[in-house]
Amino acid sequence: MTAETQVREPLTLKRVGRFVADNPLIPLVVLLLLLVGVLEFMRPGIVNERWIGNTIKFAIPLAMLAACQTMTMLTGGIDLSAAVAATISAFVMATQVPIVGVPLAICIGLLPAILMGLVNGFGVAVCRVHPLIMTLGTGLIATGCLQVYQRFVIASGSVVPDGLAWLGTGRTWGLPNSLLLFVPMAVLIIWAQRRTGFGRLLYALGSNETASRISGVRPWQVFLALYALSGLIAGVTGLLYVGLIKAPSLSLVNPLLLPSVAAAVIGGTSIFGGRGGYGGTILGALILTVLGTLLTLLQMPEGARRILFGLIILTVTTIYIRLTEQSR
Amino acid sequence: MTEHEPQTSLLDAQGVSKKFGAVVALRDASLTIQKGQIVALMGANGAGKSTFVKVLTGALRPDTGHVRIKGEERRVGSPAEARRSGLLPVYQEPSLIPDLSVADNLRLADTPVDDFRHWVAELGIEGLRLDDMIGALPLATLRILDLARALAAKPDVLLLDEMTAALPTDLVDKVLRTVRAQADKGQSVIYISHRFAEIAQICDRATVLRDGETVGDLPIAPGVEEQVVELMLGTVLDKAPTRDAATGHGGKGEAHVRVRHLAAGSKLEDVSLDLHRGEVLGVVALEGQGQDELFEALAGMIKPTAGQIAIDDVPVSFSHPADAIAAGLTYVPGDRADGLLMSRSVHENIALPQLARISKWGAIRMKAEADKVAAAIDRLQIDTRAMGEVQRLSGGNQQKVTIGRWIAAGVDTLLLFDPTRGIDVRTKRQIYLLVRELAAQGASVLYYTSELAEVPAACDRAVVIFNGKVVDVIEAADADEPTLMRAAYGLTRAEGEPA
Ligand SMILES: Nc1ncnc2c1ncn2[C@@H]1O[C@H](COP(=O)(O)OP(=O)(O)OP(=O)(O)O)[C@@H](O)[C@H]1O
Ligand SMILES: [Mg+2]
């Protein structure tokens, strides 16, 4: 018996695998369209301009927070403090508005997020603490600080500036205004990850830190800049999100943390570093958002819904990784 | 061979093909081996040798082909099955798990510990403890452990994929002797190497692969080398260019890099040498004489414990490889796993050093970068069929990428640690030429090689290091292998004088 007979049958699968490996974003687009199709099938007429606008509006903060995860994951790290950083920015900003006015409040609000990023960067880069532990730690500490801070500002109340509400919830010609912030940011990140030295170094460090060092890279510089940048993006996300939700709280953005990690992973970024990119993450965020709507429509108890959500994510990720992995 | 041949061959593979996506690694590969034979599997970088070995030992599944073991048609579906059929490989890349100890690794593969110890000792590794972590052992030791592990399982057919490429002369010698002795006892060996001297020493036949196809099978006899090379490359290789004596600066004038009484790590005790501009200075040493530490100290990877390094008479001290690079010293590590971004493209690997400094963090000039990368690829004849991820390149082509990087970056002082490891004859010559050319343009090159025959081909002078000290300095022109060998074993002149 020759081996010929036994290869015939997996050949088409192999072809698909190769195509997918060369164009990793295509199956994500297909999956997204498929989910939208299912949704339309379940509730004919639900998919309209309004629904699309809404989906995008809610996917954007998730995609922005997932940018923090994507960039840190490219180096083999993660930023579990991103959601807390976003919450702090939003809360501090909203409580400072009555005291110092909008522009200054925005600046003050971003400061703690950047500071958290710098501390993360210092811990990861200089003290060589594992990013998972480091960012978990700063996240916890920052949450505590936020609670203390709240006691001092409890009297002055909070205001969400009109500008942010406009950006977060408003629409122009049917499209959410938050695209004005998001599109330039996404374009910048996607461009930077391929075409700037900094972006390339993220991949290089995630792929092989020793090799990067031998080539003259000083990893601490990259890590410090990376986590500070991640803090800044998280802060901006918080400001946008409070514009969308319009009610600052002590756990405002926290529910987005694990979905932000999931969005990056579904989008094809490896948690071990060196592979992936922001394009996939954006699709991942859209997929998660549509999936959320879909599950809300199925009238199921909350628990069952979460179980299904988790199962779907696991299945999708497993299949996707199988497909994109170079076939043996 | 006729159909009525009484003796069935031990292993017989016919018409094996294997594609990776669009890359055809094997087209029509065949190989036969009898009991007690050593067959050399030869071919240029990327010819498909490693893929063939992986197919034969069940690590890869072929697209087509028959494999007969002792006359019986078999499908070798997994490494475990191969093992049961008596086929044991030593793959080109070290295959022990770095995060486990030696003992744990043995347990994983059910290797008999006593036999393993026996072979380790036989192969000349002393002082190995079973609780040593694999990740902390030098590359040469890992290769020997791989071999010892395979031998301990008492295979019928041993498949050695560039087993000796990372080994210094003394260990190569032991390996060759052991392998030949095993074959004389009836074990069969498939032996891959780019060093013809080794093939001539131990092999009975050579099977030649070119572009994934078996193009010849001939007995090893005096004078067969040219024939084999011609089959491998598909063309006649020109005579080795004779060294142009005029290019050698032979250590004249002021030293560019001056090393005095350098000590580092546990092995490097006291090394002094002068490296001049326009000079290629060879380093000759047996396994573990301190050469690794010498290179790492010069590259800023480790801190010297004593001694000085001066560049153009200015004392320097490095606390990071970036410092060494800023001082013009660039390092090509011996273990390519330390040098390469395995999951990234050839392009990104070659361009990496040019983006390292903060001032280069901004936008990349894509066109200029692409030109430099293309020039390096062209210069080193890197096989770009699978260039999207370096880990998919053949071993020799990966090695070329580690060198190509610094050609694209431009060099002042190049520290080459065994740069031609796993590289085929033709490209080796390219590399010698390249090194000479860089020297002629004023660069200085420190060149450690585990293959002594390279010293006269590439170097002007060679320092011999023994027991962490320089024991001899030899003009490359006088450096025939016996001389170098004697020197490497510490059998010559007094110690201490600077090179
Ligand atoms: N996983 C893979 N994906 C894609 N291409 C591959 C993969 N593995 C090997 N190849 C390709 O198959 C070809 C043969 O590679 P192989 O490693 O067998 O060569 P080789 O003869 O061992 O060369 P060398 O002397 O350099 O070790 C190369 O072109 C290589 O790029
Ligand atoms: Mg190989």
Lowest mean pLDDT among B241-255, B334-348, B437-451: B241-255
**What is the rounded radius of gyration, in angstroms, for the C-alpha atoms of chain B?**
23
A10 domain residue, yes or no: no
Task: Say what the pLDDT of residue B241 is.
Answer: 58
Q: Which range is most confident: B40-44, B254-258, B437-441?
A: B40-44
Q: Averaged over B460-488, what is the pLDDT? A: 84
Residue pair B133/B98 in contact by the 8 Å Cβ criterion? yes
Q: Which ligand is nearest to the CA of B209?
A: 1
Specify if A298 maps to a domain. yes
In the numeric block, the tokens 């406009």 are attached to A166
Residue of B nearest to A203 (CA): B344
DSSP label of B313: T
Which has the closest alpha carbon to B447: B305, B367, B331, B326? B331
Distance CA B427, CA B44 (A): 9
**How many independent structural domains does chain A possess?**
1
Q: Which residues of A touch B325 (CB under 8 A)?
A: 215-216
Instruction: For domain B11-233, give the CATH superfamily.
Output: P-loop containing nucleotide triphosphate hydrolases (3.40.50.300)
- Contact with chain A for residue B361, Cβ under 8 A: yes
Number of residues that make up chain A: 328
Beta strands in B342-486 (DSSP E): 413-417, 444-448, 461-466, 469-475
Q: Mean pLDDT over residues A126-152, rounded?
A: 92
Q: Is residue B472 within 8 Å of residue B439, measured between CB atoms?
A: no
Q: What pLDDT band is residue B494 in, cutting at 50, 70 and 90?
A: very low
User: Measured at the alpha carbon of residue A279, what is the angle toward residues A277 and A282, in degrees to the nearest 5?
Assistant: 115
* A151 CA distance to ligand 1 middle (Å): 65
Q: What is the mean pLDDT of chain A?
A: 87
Q: Among residues 277-296 of chain A, which lie with CB inside 8 Å of chain B?
A: none
The DSSP line for B147-176 is: HHHHHHT--SEEEEESTTTT--HHHHHHHH
User: Residue B4: its pLDDT value, please?
Assistant: 47
- Least CB–CB distance from B320: residue in A22, A196, A218: A218
Indicate whether A302 pLDDT > 50: yes
Closest residue by Cα to residue B408 from B372, B443, B432, B436: B372
pLDDT at B109 over 90: no
Grade residue A121 by pLDDT with cuts at 50, 70 and 90.
very high
Residues 6+ apart with CB under 8 A from B45: B383, B394, B395, B396, B397, B400, B422, B423, B424, B427
Residue A228 lies in a domain: yes
How far apart are the C-alpha atoms of A102 and B188, rounded to whole Å?
Answer: 81
Measured in Å, residue A64 CA sits from the centre of ligand 2 at 44
Q: Identify whether the C-beta of residue A201 lies closer than 8 Å to the C-beta of residue A222.
A: yes
Angle between helix A49-74 and helix A278-297 axes, rounded to 10 deg: 130
Q: In the predicted model, what is the mean pLDDT of residues B285-291? A: 85
From the list B75, B353, B361, the residue facing A198 with the nearest CB is B361
- Whether the CB of B72 is below 8 Å from some CB of chain A: the reply is no
Residue A8's closest chain B neighbor by CA?
Answer: B63
In chain B, whose CA is at the least distance from the CA of A5?
B64
Three-state DSSP class for A125?
helix
Which helix (DSSP H) or strand (DSSP E) does residue B215 occupy? strand B213-219
Closest ligand 1 atom to Cα of B394: 17
Provide the CATH number for the domain around residue A275. Answer: 1.10.3470
Report the separation in Å between the CA atom of B66 and the middle of ligand 2, taken as the mean of its atom positions.
Answer: 22
Top residue of A4, A194, A196, A214 to mutate, by most chain B CBs within 10 Å, is A214
**A residues 31..90 contacting B (CB < 8 A):** none
B352: chain A residues, CB-CB within 8 Å? 200, 204, 211-212, 215, 217
Residue A328: closest CA among chain B residues belongs to which residue? B60
* Ligand of minimum distance to the alpha carbon of B91: 2
- The residue that leads in pLDDT, B465 or B488, is B465
Residue A6's pLDDT band (cuts 50, 70, 90): very low
Distance CA A235, CA B200 (A): 68
**Helix A302-324 vs helix A278-297: crossing angle, to nearest 10:** 150
Helix H, strand E, coil C: the string for A64-103 is: HHHHHHHHHHHCCCCCCCHHHHHHHHHHHHHHHHHHHCHH
Asked if the model's pLDDT at residue B297 lies above 90, the reply is: yes
Backbone angles phi, psi at B346, to 5 degrees: -55, -45
3-state secondary structure of B101: strand
List of chain B residues whose C-beta atoms are within 8 Å of the C-beta of residue A212: 341, 352, 356
Contact (CB<8Å) A204/B73: no
CA of B212 relative to ligand 1 center, distance in Å: 10
The C-alpha torsion from A118 through A122 and A128 to A131, rounded to 10°, is: -10
For the four alpha carbons of A122, A127, A130 and A136, in that order, the dihedral sign comes to negative
The answer for residues whose C-beta is within 8 angstroms of residue B221's C-beta and 6 or more apart is none
Predicted pLDDT of residue B299: 92
pLDDT at B239 over 80: no
CB contact under 8 A, B405 and A215: yes
Q: Does B355 contact A328 at a Cβ distance shorter than 8 Å? A: no
CA–CA separation, B368 and A39 (whole Å): 49
Identify from B343, B345, B347, B417 which residue to disrupt to test chain A contact, counting A C-beta atoms within 10 A and taking the largest count: B343
Asked if B81 contacts B58 with a C-beta cutoff of 8 angstroms, the reply is yes
B-chain residues near A71 (CB < 8 A): none
Q: How far is CA A315 from CA A63, A304, B161, B496, in A?
A: 21, 16, 39, 67
In ligand 1, the atom with minimum distance to the C-alpha of B51 is 18
Distance from CA of A18 to the nearest CA of B (A): 6
Question: With the CA atoms of A57, A59, A62 and A64 taken in that order, what torsion angle do they form, in degrees rounded to the nearest 10?
Answer: -70
Residues of B in contact with A210 (CB under 8 A): 338
Computed over every residue of chain B, the mean pLDDT equals 86
Provide the CATH topology of domain B243-488: Rossmann fold (3.40.50)
Higher pLDDT, B101 or B246: B101
The answer as to whether A18 is a domain residue is: no
Return left, alpha or beta for B255; rule: phi > 0 is left, psi -120 to 50 is alpha, else beta: beta
- pLDDT, one tens digit per residue, over B365-422 is 888 889 989 988 988 888 888 888 898 888 889 988 998 888 877 788 999 999 988 8
Choose the closest CB to B363 out of A22, A195, A210. A195
Predicted local distance difference test score (pLDDT) of residue A13: 66
Residue of B nearest to A270 (CA): B343
pLDDT band at B2 (very low <50, low <70, confident <90, very high): very low
Residue nearest to ligand 1 atom 11, measured at CA:
B25
Given a cut of 80, is residue B460 above it in pLDDT?
Answer: yes
Residue nearest to atom 1 of ligand 1 (CA): B392
Q: Cβ(A199)–Cβ(A276) under 8 Å?
A: no
Query: Does residue B349 register a pLDDT over 60?
Result: yes
DSSP secondary structure letter of residue B316: E
Amino acid identity at B9:
S
DSSP B70: T
Smallest-distance ligand from the CA of B46: 1
Task: Determine whether the interchain pair A196/B363 forms a contact, defined as Cβ–Cβ distance below 8 Å.
Answer: yes
Sign of CA dihedral A232, A236, A241, A243: positive
- Verify whether the Cβ–Cβ distance B355 to A201 is below 8 Å: yes
Query: Do the chains contact at B64 and A198, CB–CB below 8 Å?
Result: no
Query: What confidence score (pLDDT) does residue A217 get?
Result: 92
| Whole-angstrom distance, CA of residue A40 vs CA of residue A17 | 29
In 10 A of CB A153, how many CB atoms? 16
Is residue A8 a part of any domain in this protein? no
Is any atom of ligand 1 closer than 6 Å to the C-beta of B393? Answer: yes
The DSSP result for B201-213, as a single string, is HH-SEEEEEETTE
Residue A238 lies inside a defined structural domain of this protein: yes
Q: What is the pLDDT of residue B438?
A: 87
What residues does CATH 3.40.50.300 cover in chain B?
11-233, 243-488
Q: For chains A and B, what is the number of CB pairs under 8 angstroms?
A: 113
Mean pLDDT of B114-126: 88
Return the pLDDT at B27.
92
Q: Ligand 2 centre from B193 Cα, in Å?
A: 9
Per-residue tokens: A41: 């099938």
- Provide φ and ψ at B98, rounded to 5°: -60, -30
Determine the atom of ligand 1 nearest the C-alpha atom of B44. 25
Beta-carbon separation of A328 and B325 below 8 A: no
Band (B7; pLDDT cuts 50, 70, 90): low
| Cβ–Cβ contact A126 with B under 8 A | no
Q: What angle do CA B317, B322, B326 make, to 5 degrees?
A: 75
Whether B364 and A195 lie within 8 Å, measured CB to CB: yes
**What pLDDT, in 10s, does the model give residues A226-260?**
999 999 999 999 999 999 888 888 888 898 998 99
For the residues of A243-287, what is the DSSP string, one character each? HHH----TTSSGGGHHHHHHHHHHTT--TTSS---HHHHHHHHHH
Q: Which residues of B touch A328 (CB under 8 A)?
A: 60-61
Residue A7 has pLDDT above 50, yes or no: no
Write the ipTM: 0.84
Confidence grade of residue A296 (pLDDT, cut at 50, 70, 90): confident
Highest mean pLDDT among A303-312, B38-47, B66-75, B165-174: B38-47
User: Does A4 reside within a domain?
Assistant: no
* Nearest protein CA to atom 24 of ligand 1, as residue: B45
DSSP tag of B363: B
Strand order in the sheet with B461-466: B314-316, B306-311, B255-264, B268-276, B469-475, B461-466, B280-284, B444-448, B413-417, B329-332
Domain limits for position A230: 25-326
pLDDT at A279: 92
* Contact state of B320 with A18 under an 8 Å Cβ cutoff: no
Q: Please, which pLDDT band fits residue A45 given cuts at 50, 70 and 90?
A: confident
Strands (E), A125-219: 171-172, 175-176
Q: How far is CA B46 from the centre of its chain?
A: 15
Rounded percentage of chain B residues whose pLDDT exceeds 70? 94
Q: Within chain A, what is the greatest distance between any pair of CA atoms?
A: 84
Query: Would the pLDDT of A70 be above 90?
Result: yes
pLDDT in tens, A156-194: 788 888 888 888 888 888 789 999 999 999 999 999 998
DSSP string, B221-277: -TTHHHHHHHHHHSSPPPPPPPP-GGG--TT-SSEEEEEEEEEETTTEEEEEEEEET
Name, in order, each residue with C-beta under 8 angstroms of A119's C-beta and a sequence gap of 6 or more.
A138
Strand B188-192: give its sheet, edge to edge.
Answer: B72-74, B64-69, B11-20, B23-33, B213-219, B205-210, B38-42, B188-192, B157-161, B87-90
Please give the distance, rounded to the nearest whole angstrom, from the Cα atom of residue B424 to the centre of ligand 2: 10
pLDDT at A9 over 50: no
Q: Which tops the pLDDT comparison, B280 or A3? A: B280
User: B16: distance to nearest CA of chain A, Å?
Assistant: 9
pLDDT digits (tens, 9 = 90+) for B316-345: 989 999 999 988 899 999 888 889 999 899
> Which residue has 């493209």 as its token pair?
B345
Phi and psi angles of residue B378, each rounded to the nearest 5 degrees, phi first = -65, -45
The tokens describing B65, both together, are 């082909």
| Confidence band for B188, pLDDT divided at 50, 70 and 90 | very high
B349 lines ligand 1 (CB under 6 A): no
pLDDT single digits (tens) B143-175? 999 999 999 988 999 999 999 888 888 889 899
Work out the average pLDDT over A64-79. Answer: 94
Report if residue A7 sits inside a domain: no
